[in-house]
Structure 1
């Protein structure tokens, strides 16, 4: 009797986590606002949100938006206007950025995802193609990172929760990426790197982007 053929393994389901803020005057881009004013910073943030939302929509992967704070009068059953068609959650009020990301990853894996990627909304060069590349890389790597040119990352993805990658980090500093990669090496994870992109956090970052939009 011939050996029965094994069915092909199912491709692990992808899920995208988007960490964002509500576009509210005085509550977003405070470092940028220190250089250009709160109203101008809000306008830039709305622009960045629109670019990110377009990339997410074009990537056509399941996604959840995690808002830093509960929006005033927000109905959790209804999508936010900046994120049409996407469900949203509120990030835990307590804990570091790393702890909040770890919880979002944990919930996505618990819901059945097998490849989970998190992004922010500070990187105008993020594209649907890069998002698709990230998920593709998780078929052959345990970790994928999108380095930002300020020493952080604009994207992080994994195919199971590696909680140590979120611990003991000085968030919003130039040590985040090297410390994350050092942890990954110590854990023996295969790491894929995407192209380095430009974050917009300060007036100088904005001037760099405006002077060379293709840099992203």
Structure 2
């Protein structure tokens, strides 16, 4: 019996500590509000999925926040860098008996509920599923068994992550999803209507 797990990696929404590259252009307060909109969107596209859902906080587990504890199991990220944190999350998931595990971030306004359902469907016939981001990273990564190599020797946050990850798994069945854009810079949101009121406040 397949057991599906979706892990959502998120930063605790704190002024001056999230979306710092975006904040350099629009200011800390507007960047925080952009991130809160992205978190709301992530809840909207994940809460109704018929899979087990975990939210992994960057610094501490949130209480009385947008992540309903009856829907999401709340976890703390463990490790000194993103690779170690993702490895530990996947390891714990597989040790808990899950057979298909997917991880996403919480800064994708481009992502939909259907995209995530398609990713789990792809894992039925592939060992890996990857959603390539326009910046050379990935917005979604899934696998059927633990491979520590994909989390090692990566310069996280750079345009080499996807390329180097694909090298690690080049002899396997990999499903690549549509390329999408995550939100890191002003240019990523300047033409999206839902963010316009925040951008006007920032000017």
- Alignment TM-score > 0.5, same fold: yes
Query: 2-side partners of 1:36 and 1:138: how far apart?
Result: 39
SS at match of 2:135: coil
The alignment's C-alpha RMSD in Å is: 1.8
Match of 1:113 in 2: 98
Match of 2:73 in 1: 87
Query: Map of 1:1-216 to 2, 5 A cutoff?
Result: 10=1, 12-71=2-61, 74=62, 80-84=64-68, 85-92=71-78, 94-185=79-170, 188-210=171-193
For the 8 Å contact 1:15–1:108, the answer to whether it is kept is yes
Shift of the 147–208 alpha-carbon distance from structure 1 to 2, 3 Å rule, reads farther
Figure out how many residues of one structure are paired with residues of the other and give that number. Answer: 194
For the 8 Å contact 1:200–1:209, the answer to whether it is kept is no
SS at match of 1:195: coil
- Runs of 5+ unmatched residues, structure 1: 1-9
For the 8 Å contact 1:145–1:191, the answer to whether it is kept is yes
Offset of residue 208 of structure 1: 4.5
Match of 2:199 in 1: none
SS at match of 1:207: coil
Query: 2-side partners of 1:198 and 1:209: how far apart?
Result: 12
In our comparison, the structure showing a higher alpha carbon Rg is 1
Query: 2-side partners of 1:211 and 1:150: how far apart?
Result: 22
Query: 2-side partners of 1:114 and 1:208: how far apart?
Result: 39
- Runs of 5+ unmatched residues, structure 2: 197-203
